[in-house]
Amino acid sequence: MARLFNRNFIVGVTGSIAAYKAAELTRSLIREGANVRVIMTEAACEFITPLTLQALSGHEVHTDLLDTEAEAAMGHIELARWADALLITPASADSIARLVQGRADDLLGACALATPAPVFVAPAMNQEMWAKQATQDNVQTLVSRGIAILGPSSGSQACGDVGAGRLLEPDDIVSAVIAHLCTGTLSGRHVVITAGPTREPICPVRYISNRSSGKMGYALAEACINAGAKTTLISGPVSCEPPSGVTVINVETTQEMFDASMATAATADIFIGAAAVVDFKPTTVSDRKIKRSGVEAMDLSLVPNPDIIASVAESKARPELVVGFAAETHHVQDYARKKLASKSLDFIFANDVSDHSIGFNSEHNAGVLIGRDSDIVLPMSSKRVLAESIIEELSKVLD
């Protein structure tokens, strides 16, 4: 099974004799289904050519912070946002020290600062350098900032020394990354998620709907699977590929989404409403195509649909956490807070859908996870990274 299917990885290669192992690592990530883009520091290019990693990753290797051509294709901020994970391997003693300082005078440093994605560091250096207090202090600082350190392993080194400081083998690095991403924090829990739009038919060929692509809801489902939860996805019509392991219930209308939600929420620990539900439906649905000819004007009479998430939140078998999404264009957080209260939710994620770089159909999203007594700002990132942050926060509350 491709355990990193469609995940976007930046592999950052720094100046170390172990840089050649980045080639095997890139292949391993791709074998696991990941999309890989490589950043090389100037020193890394002394040990292995960018051409090798370009051929293996299928993309031009990024080397310069101030390369106008590269910036036009995919600038460092765009690259940082594209990533679902940044994996610095091999990480030299110098590159670790630079990360600690927050240096942004090369592309790798700037991306490490700019990315909201999880950062993994696989050190490789001489055993004496690894053992030095300065390096150990630097590593501890990175750990305290939430950066995962993978390895190093022990053994004979290229310089002839024997000891700790060898880069982990590429397959072991990939396994460690998978173990980090698949946290298991929701194992034994059941999460039900609604995703995508609903459709309300007007006649056999026309319907009312909206621009939801389902990407946000599907990313949440993937994060739940990675966290070990039994995951049910109630999905409106979308073209997203469901993550493996998810039980998908396909629906079309709001009433169908309502019925599926009420039936499954009864056994759920968490219910998340990421769907863009159509609030009103036509009073009557024509069983024949409504003809254009001879019609000068047409009125459409609408009646309200049930409020799915409010009904789940008020049901007798209420899940422990009921989490809504608020798609707003103005006064985003104020309206979201009102929905949190009026729908009896535990959390609501407020996103500004007037910003076309996030929200509907975008690969990215950003917003504030509003609780009854907490606000957590989640900066712009891929929907996958954002979903992982939301699920991590919800897991903490369940604990």
Binding interface with ligand PMT (CB under 6 A): 194, 196, 212-216, 254, 273-277, 279, 305, 307-309, 324-327, 339, 351, 353, 359-361
Alpha helices for 267-367 (secondary structure H): 308-314, 332-342
Joined together, the tokens standing for residue 64 give: 């310069």
| Residue 196 to residue 383: CA distance in whole angstroms | 14
* Nearer to ligand PMT among residue 129 and residue 326 (C-beta): 326
Spatial neighbors of 291 by CB under 8 A, at least 6 apart, are none
* Nearer to ligand PMT among residue 279 and residue 392 (C-beta): 279
45, 159, 203, 224: the catalytic one is: 159
* Nearer to ligand PMT among residue 232 and residue 305 (C-beta): 305
* Nearer to ligand PMT among residue 42 and residue 375 (C-beta): 375
- CA distances to 8, 50, 117, 167 from 26, rounded to whole Å, are 12, 12, 18, 15
Closest by Cα among 242, 240, 235, 118 to 182: 118
Q: Among this protein's residues, is 224 annotated catalytic?
A: no
Compute the least distance from the CB of residue 167 to ligand PMT, in Å: 38
* Nearer to ligand PMT among residue 28 and residue 305 (C-beta): 305
Question: CA 24, 66, 384, 216 torsion: positive or negative?
Answer: negative
Cis peptide before 237 (omega within 30 of 0): no
How many CB atoms are closer than 10 A to CB 109? 21
| Residue 125 to residue 136: CA distance in whole angstroms | 12
| Residue 321 to residue 272: CA distance in whole angstroms | 8
Compute the least distance from the CB of residue 262 to ligand PMT, in Å: 11
Compute the least distance from the CB of residue 131 to ligand PMT, in Å: 48
Q: Find the angle CA(69)-CA(71)-CA(74) to the nearest 5 degrees.
A: 110
Compute the least distance from the CB of residue 221 to ligand PMT, in Å: 12
How many CB atoms are closer than 10 A to CB 210? 17
Closest by Cα among 101, 203, 193, 95 to 149: 95
* Nearer to ligand PMT among residue 165 and residue 196 (C-beta): 196
Compute the least distance from the CB of residue 189 to ligand PMT, in Å: 20
Compute the least distance from the CB of residue 16 to ligand PMT, in Å: 40
Half-sphere exposure of 6 toward its Cβ, with a 13 Å CA cutoff? 14
Q: Using only C-alpha atoms, what is the Rg of the chain?
A: 24
Compute the least distance from the CB of residue 369 to ligand PMT, in Å: 12
* Nearer to ligand PMT among residue 165 and residue 236 (C-beta): 236
Residue 280: helix, strand or coil by DSSP?
strand
Closest by Cα among 162, 164, 140 to 154: 164
Phi, psi dihedrals of residue 364, rounded to the nearest 5°: -115, 165
* Nearer to ligand PMT among residue 28 and residue 194 (C-beta): 194
Name 12's bridge partners. 39, 88
How many CB atoms are closer than 10 A to CB 227? 22
Catalytically annotated residues: 159
